[in-house]
Amino acid sequence: MRFVWFLTAALLFTVQGAAAQESLPAYQVERTSVHTVTSAQNGRTYDLYVKLPPGYADPKNVGRRYGVLYLTDGDYTFQVASGITRLAHSQKRLDEFILVGLPTAKGENGMESRRRDLTPWADPDLPSPSGGAQAYLDFLVKEAMPLVEKTYRIDPARRTLVGQSYGGLFGLWVLFTQPQHFSSYILTSPSIWYKDYALRTLEADYAKGHKDLRASVYMTTGSFEAAKPGDKRYNQRRDMVADQQDMAKHLRARKYPGLQVMSEVSQGTYHETTFPVGLIQGMQWLYPAP
């Protein structure tokens, strides 16, 4: 009987606990909204997460237009950016800007969605479709960005594209193919190695046909993303630190009048932990406090 009583009590406690959790309100992030768009470009549905800075609703700022950060992998990066800017904006350590998170397609596996949307070239060796970057950029430029910039007071001359890993690959590809869409980039742990370093050829091809590249580019990769076989803290094959440094070296050697490049190594971070550090540094470089 004691055993039966114990089981009954445990079950009641579990049910009551679950019911209490269901009745609690969800945590809400201030000054945020969600727009849902079904793309005419690729037929997929995406959410757009938007967060406004503290001064946006102040009557004295009614005529002000703000810079904007478009964050790929928005399921993760938007949360990080929201937390990072909360204190920095309230204490005026950064110039105010609007955040727009770009999550993966609704109803899809997140890794498969980003692998398709953020890679410029198809790679048959990957476990799911790839090479959909142009269709995704078309969605951003023709649908997502016009919606956001019609709804909010955004300065289209101050657009920043943010990307981590495949998102960094996507950002560099945009820089070398359609640089008119963004004035600046924050790219962490960019997958420059993708498709046998096709980005290097793309960069060289751009240089052959252009005398300028107007953009500010911040890049960083974690120190543990260098290659040291045998040391499990580091990459075993791919030296992403050297890849980034090589890309920065080539860009600087072009001596484009309108290009600024900041290339750093984030000490003590891995591929999975570099983004928050790089985002902070990139924001401080591009959006210093007035």
3-state per-residue secondary structure call for 72-93: ECHHHHHHHHHHHHHHHHHCCC
- The answer to whether the beta carbons of residues 42 and 139 sit under 8 Å apart is yes
227-241 pLDDT tens trace: 999 999 999 999 999
Whether the Cβ atoms of residue 218 and residue 192 lie closer than 8 Å to each other: no
Query: What confidence score (pLDDT) does residue 23 get?
Result: 86
| 11 in any annotated domain | no
Residue 18 covered by a domain = no
Phi-psi region of 131 (alpha: psi -120 to 50; beta: other; left: phi over 0): left
Mean per-residue pLDDT over the chain, rounded: 94
Asked if residue 155 belongs to a domain, the reply is: yes
> What are the DSSP E strand ranges found in 178-250?
184-188, 215-222
Provide the CA 78 distance to its chain's centre, in angstroms: 8
Note whether residue 6 is domain-resident: no
- DSSP-based three-state secondary structure for 38: strand
Please report the pLDDT score of residue 16 as a whole number.
57
**The Cα angle at residue 99 between residues 66 and 105, in degrees rounded to 5:** 135
Tokens of 267: 């000490």
Q: What number is the average pLDDT over the span 23-28?
A: 91
Decide if 158 is inside a domain.
Answer: yes
Instruction: Look at residue 42 in the predicted model and tell me its pLDDT.
Output: 86
Question: Over the Cα atoms of the chain, what is R_g?
Answer: 22
**How much is the pLDDT for 33?**
97
Average pLDDT over residues 147-168: 98
Task: Give the pLDDT mean for 158-180.
Answer: 98
- Residue 198 domain-assigned (yes or no): yes
Q: 44, 196, 41: which is closest to 123 by C-alpha?
A: 196
- Which of 54, 35, 55 lies closest to 45, judged by CA? 35
Give the span between the Cα atoms of 95 and 85, in whole angstroms. Answer: 10
Residue 279 reports pLDDT greater than 80: yes
Percent of the chain with pLDDT over 70: 93
Q: What is the mean pLDDT of residues 114-132?
A: 97
In a domain, 21, yes or no: no
Check pLDDT > 60 for residue 3: no
Q: What is the CATH number of the domain that holds 163?
A: 3.40.50.1820
Distance CA 79, CA 198 (A): 31
Whether residue 71 is predicted with pLDDT greater than 60 in this model: the reply is yes
The continuous run of DSSP H or E covering 199 comes out as helix 194-209
Q: Name which residue leads in pLDDT, 60 or 2.
A: 60
Total domain count, the chain = 1
Which residue, among 275, 215, 287, has the nearest Cα to 81 in the 3D structure?
275
pLDDT at 20 over 90: no
The whole-angstrom separation of Cα 200 and Cα 121 is: 13
Strand residues in the chain grouped as ranges (E):
32-38, 45-51, 66-72, 97-102, 154-164, 184-188, 215-222, 259-266
Q: Which domain holds residue 130?
A: 28-286
Please check whether residue 22 lies inside any domain of the structure: no
Express each pLDDT in 196-205 by its tens digit.
Answer: 999 999 999 9
